[in-house]
Amino acid sequence: MSNNIVVAIDGYSSCGKSTLAKALAKKLHFIYVDSGAMYRAVTLYFLRNQVNLKDEQQVALALQDVHLNFHSRDYETHITLNDEEVSDEIRLMPVSENVSAVSAIKLVRTEMVKQQQRMGQSENIVMDGRDIGTMVFPEAQLKIFMTADPKVRAERRHKELLPKNPEITLEEVFENLAHRDYADTTRVESPLIRAEDAIILDNTNLTPEQQLQFALDKLAPFLNNG
């Protein structure tokens, strides 16, 4: 059995999961994987190729043509879809509006989970997402479930999106988040739920530094033994 360390960070959209995951990976020289980027890249492919989400055969065939790769030289998410850099395009509204529907498809999830598990087989890794502690790495040494006030989340996200989407309003962002929360928690396949052994981190009033320290403290016993 391999003895690499796995940190699973799950939670609602725009809760600061990736900020914490990146900071932790950077500090510890672990690999960082943004699992949401994978669902987003699949969504982009499906949109471009007008894949009918209700047609299982079409979905299965399309998935065979989707080749994703991360190249994370600086702990940011750089993802390629069939060798094309799509890191920016997957953050735009067309993908954000359709990603919940795509990530609810069982075939899509099975394929993504398989790829994610492969990445965590032998390397120390921090992965963020919705089902990392429950489905992808149920044996992870540390599981964190992040939450924050919905209004604060929408404000943070809005600020993040403005440079690339100057037209976007706070209301639009709030609604997109509410819609995704609902879809993510009520879907049949791997809904977003807290793993029983996940530690809750509400970061409404915490700085990124405080969140990093929280995670490092929880991880300390594993690092000392490792």
The binder of ligand DC chosen from 22, 130, 153, 158 (CB under 6 A) = 130
Stretch that binds ligand DC, among 1-9, 55-63, 129-137, 217-225 (CB under 6 A): 129-137
How far apart are CB 222 and ligand DC at their closest, in Å? 22
The binder of ligand DC chosen from 8, 25, 63, 131 (CB under 6 A) = 131
How far apart are CB 65 and ligand DC at their closest, in Å? 20
How far apart are CB 130 and ligand DC at their closest, in Å? 4
Stretch that binds ligand DC, among 67-75, 123-131, 169-177, 198-206 (CB under 6 A): 123-131
How far, in Å, CA of 10 to CA of 145, rounded? Answer: 5
Half-sphere CA count of 70, side-chain side, radius 13 A:
19
How far, in Å, CA of 34 to CA of 152, rounded? Answer: 22
Phi, psi values for residue 69, rounded to 5°: -145, 140
- 111 binding ligand DC? (CB under 6 A): no
Structure tokens at 102: 């795509």
Which of 143, 111, 103 lies closest to 127, judged by CA?
A: 143
Phi, psi values for residue 60, rounded to 5°: -60, -45
Residues forming beta bridges with residue 81, ordered by sequence position: 68, 84
Phi, psi values for residue 59, rounded to 5°: -65, -45
How far, in Å, CA of 94 to CA of 149, rounded? Answer: 25
- 143 binding ligand DC? (CB under 6 A): no
How far, in Å, CA of 163 to CA of 129, rounded? Answer: 24
Which of 221, 75, 203 lies closest to 150, judged by CA?
A: 203
- 184 binding ligand DC? (CB under 6 A): yes
How far, in Å, CA of 20 to CA of 29, rounded? Answer: 14
- 157 binding ligand DC? (CB under 6 A): no
# binding residues, ligand DC (CB under 6 A): 14
Stretch that binds ligand DC, among 60-68, 127-135, 152-160, 166-174 (CB under 6 A): 127-135
Residues of this chain, 1-40, that bind ligand DC according to CB under 6 A = 13, 35-36, 39-40
How far apart are CB 180 and ligand DC at their closest, in Å? 4
- 77 binding ligand DC? (CB under 6 A): no
Q: Which is nearer to ligand DC, 94 or 220 (CB)?
A: 94
Phi, psi values for residue 189, rounded to 5°: -85, 120
- 134 binding ligand DC? (CB under 6 A): no
- 87 binding ligand DC? (CB under 6 A): no
Interacting residues with ligand DC (CB under 6 A): 13, 35-36, 39-40, 99-100, 103, 129-132, 180, 184
